[in-house]
Structure 1
C-alpha cells in the first residue's frame, strides 16, 4: 500500500518514488546531512538510486513520504517503520539548505497526526544519535520524551554509536496539540 498523500500549509507529502533519486542525491551525498545517518554520504547517483528504490518499494513494512514544497521535487523524506502492533518508528531527513525553516517539524508533525489519527497508533518512537542536536531538538519540540540510551547500538560510517530512544504516546500528542 502506498503512503497516502498528506498536506500542510506549505508542504505536500507524497509516496517516495524511484524517480526522486536525482533530487535526493543532493541530500544523501552531503557529508553534513549524513553525519548522523546509519550510512555515510553517497558517492554516486547510482548508489542513491538503489537506496531510494528500496525505500520507495511498497509492502516492506514501512510508509515513506517524500517532502515537497511548491513543486514535486523531493527535499527529503519522513518514514514510519513497522514495529509492534500499533507502534511505529519515525525517521526523517531533509536537504541542508532547508534546515531551520520549520519544514522538518511541519512534515514530521503531519505524519504523526496521520499515525495517531487515521492509523490509530498508540505510540511512535524515534532513535537518534546522542550528538545530533538538530534531531534531539526537533523531537523534544514535538513533545517526544527521552526514554533511554542504548549503548553501542549502531556500527556506522563514523564508528560504533549509542542511540537515544524518544517516545510519544497518542494521548501526549493530543495534549501537546491543545497547548
Structure 2
C-alpha cells in the first residue's frame, strides 16, 4: 500500500494509470529522460501501460501533486531491494522543476521509509546528471561508489554513481526543508 503523504506545499498520493496524461510531459520528453535507463515513452498509452506494470508489489510509487490540485507534476518511487534496504527514484515534469518540489517530495518519502523501519535508502544516478546528484547530496546522501559501464541505456553504456543514506544519518543531520511546517512530513496511512 502506498500511503498518502503531505508537506506544506505538496500532497503525495498513490500513482494511478490516469497520471500518465500529466506525466507524459516528462516521461515522453527526450531531454527530460536523458538520464533514465530507458527511452522516453512513445505515447500516453504506452506510458499508462508502463505505470500498470511498474506497480508490482515491490515498488511503491507516489504521484507528486501541489496541495489543492490533484494533477501529477512528478513522482517518487521506492522499491525494497532486500530487508531493510530500499531504492528510490524520482522525476518532475519540466514545468515544475527549479522550485524545490523534488527535494520536498523525496524528503517526505525518505521520512516515511525510515519511519517504516528501513535502515538504508539508496539511489543510483548518471555521473552527468548534475541536478539529481546535487539533490541527493543536499538531502544528506553520501556518494558511496562509481560503477563503470553499469547501464546500457538509450544514450549508450553509462556509468552510475551509488548514493546511500542511513536512518541514523537522517535523524542526526535532518536537512532543513524550505517552505515546510515542522512535523509536516510522514503523512498518514
For 1:75, what is the secondary structure of its paired residue?
strand
1:163 is aligned, of 151, 160, 169, to 160
Deviating 4+ runs (over 4 angstroms)? none
RMSD across aligned positions (CA)? 1.2
TM-score (norm 2): 0.89
Gapped regions of structure 1 (runs ≥ 5): none
Structure 1 equivalent of residue 90 of structure 2: 92
Structure 1 equivalent of residue 52 of structure 2: 53
Deviations 1:67-122 (A, max 9, x none): 000311111110111111111001101111111100000000000000111x1110
Q: CA deviation at 1:32?
A: 1.5
Distance in 2, Cα, partners of 1:71 & 1:137: 28
Q: CA deviation at 1:154?
A: 0.5
Structure 2 equivalent of residue 32 of structure 1: 31
Residue 178 to residue 20, structure 1, CA distance change in 2 (3 Å): closer
TM-score (norm 1): 0.94
**Equivalent residue pairs, number:** 175
Distance in 1, Cα, partners of 2:91 & 2:98: 13
Identify which of structures 1 and 2 has the higher relative contact order when contacts are C-alpha pairs closer than 8 Å and 6+ apart: 2
Flag the structure with higher helix content.
Answer: 1
Distance in 1, Cα, partners of 2:173 & 2:6: 20
Is 1:3 the equivalent of 2:2? yes
Gapped regions of structure 2 (runs ≥ 5): 177-189
Structure 2 equivalent of residue 41 of structure 1: 40
Structure 1 equivalent of residue 183 of structure 2: none
